[in-house]
A and B are shown apart, each in its own frame.
Chain A
């Protein structure tokens, strides 16, 4: 069966510091991968999605970037965090070839101070 991992689970970072969040998927190959951010009490904001290695679509022009160095690894980065970057970061994986279901990882709760 498929499993999705995210780490760290929680993170407290000062403004201006860098960020690296990692997501890995097990039990499937060539998944679609997604990064979402959820501000407190708010909805799911799609940040990036990837349909293959090196293929990243950006939905929000801001100080975040994403990379997919391996088939089942998705990384979210920032060079300098802003206070507004605080939130619950969720990675998700989905199928391809007509399998549209998407499953979320456990999330990383980021607080920028």
Chain B
């Protein structure tokens, strides 16, 4: 069935360092790949996304890369700050059904 694997489950980095979270999807019909940030007790917030016809997208300190052949996509956060600490979820979206398959989440801790 459809599945999205996300690694690592937890990640600790020093403030100012970079963080990378990786996801792998199985549904070949996926063509949209969003990333969400969820702070404790709050709703997930969309932070960046990428479509299958694009290999990379950047927005200030965050970037997402997509390798459609390998079915891999990754979130890159540079110059991490304490406020980046949260749980991050990736997702793959089927272009026909609009069904979201989420990864299991990565808890990022940025140590000051």
* A contacts, CB < 8 Å to B: 32, 34, 42-44, 46, 49, 51, 57, 90, 94, 96, 100-107
* B contacts, CB < 8 Å to A: 32, 34, 43-46, 49, 51, 89, 93, 95, 97-105
Query: Which residue of B44, B93, B101, B105 is within 8 Å of A104 (Cβ)?
Result: B44
B34, B97, B100, B101, most chain A CB atoms within 10 A? B100
User: In the complex, A67→B44 CA distance in Å?
Assistant: 23
Closest chain A CB from B40 CB (angstroms): 10
B89 to A90, Cβ gap below 8 A?
Answer: no
Residues of B within 8 Å of A32, CB to CB, are: 98
B44 to A90, Cβ gap below 8 A?
Answer: yes
B49 to A101, Cβ gap below 8 A?
Answer: yes
A105 to B105, Cβ gap below 8 A?
Answer: no
Give the nearest-CB partner of A97 in chain B: B98
B100 to A46, Cβ gap below 8 A?
Answer: yes
B49 to A44, Cβ gap below 8 A?
Answer: no
Residues of A within 8 Å of B34, CB to CB, are: 100-102
A44 to B44, Cβ gap below 8 A?
Answer: yes
A96 to B43, Cβ gap below 8 A?
Answer: no
Give the nearest-CB partner of B89 in chain A: A44
**Which 5 pairs across A and B sit closest by C-beta, in order of nearness?**
A100-B32, A104-B43, A44-B102, A43-B104, A43-B105
* Additional A-B contact list (7), CB under 8 Å, known A101-B34, A101-B46, A101-B49: A44-B44, A46-B99, A46-B102, A51-B98, A100-B49, A102-B93, A104-B43
Residues of B within 8 Å of A94, CB to CB, are: 98, 100
Closest chain A CB from B99 CB (angstroms): 6
CB contact under 8 A between A106 and B89, given known A43-B102, A49-B99, A100-B32: no
Closest chain A CB from B35 CB (angstroms): 12
A90 to B43, Cβ gap below 8 A?
Answer: yes
B43 to A43, Cβ gap below 8 A?
Answer: no
